[in-house]
Amino acid sequence: DMTRLRGKTSEDMYQNSSKRVVKISSQSVMLLDPLGNEGCYERKIMPNWRNFLKMKGNEEFRVDWKMERLPHNKQMDSSSCGVLMLKFAEHYLMSGEVAVHSRSRWAATHRNCL
């Protein structure tokens, strides 16, 4: 709905639709943005993540962390990002594996289940 978007920058909208997962075992931060704008995030996310670890004082986690961009098709509509992110998070938490679906029909089907 365009009335909700007024006054927001495109960066605000991207931040609302992206998903980040931290994988401690591989020292990586996984990023998925259904709109395909992952490149906008690395400059902000990685310094913030390193500062967080520094504040926590965990020496074993102070290594060179990397950003992983998850492969996916670009979202083709303006309304399925929430459904895509919820299903992605559910699948990842249940299986520990990354599975990305970006088809509008798939999103519409799962939106009805939520």
Residue of 37, 39, 24 lying closest to 96 (CA atoms): 24
Give a yes or no: residue 4 inside a domain.
no
pLDDT at residue 12 in the model: 44
pTM of this prediction? 0.52
Q: State how many domains the chain has.
A: 1
What pLDDT is recorded for position 35? Answer: 78
Residue 7 lies in a domain: no
- Considering the chain, what percentage of its residues have pLDDT values greater than 90? 0
Query: Does a structural domain hold residue 8?
Result: no
Report yes or no on 6 lying in a domain. no
Local confidence band at 62 (pLDDT 50, 70, 90 cut-offs): low
**Residue 83 belongs to what domain range?**
14-113
66 within a domain of the structure (yes/no): yes
> Considering the domain boundaries, does residue 5 fall inside one?
no
pLDDT top residue among 25 and 68 = 68
What is the reported pLDDT for 100? 52
Q: Is residue 104 part of a domain?
A: yes
C-beta separation of 72 from 100 below 8 A = yes
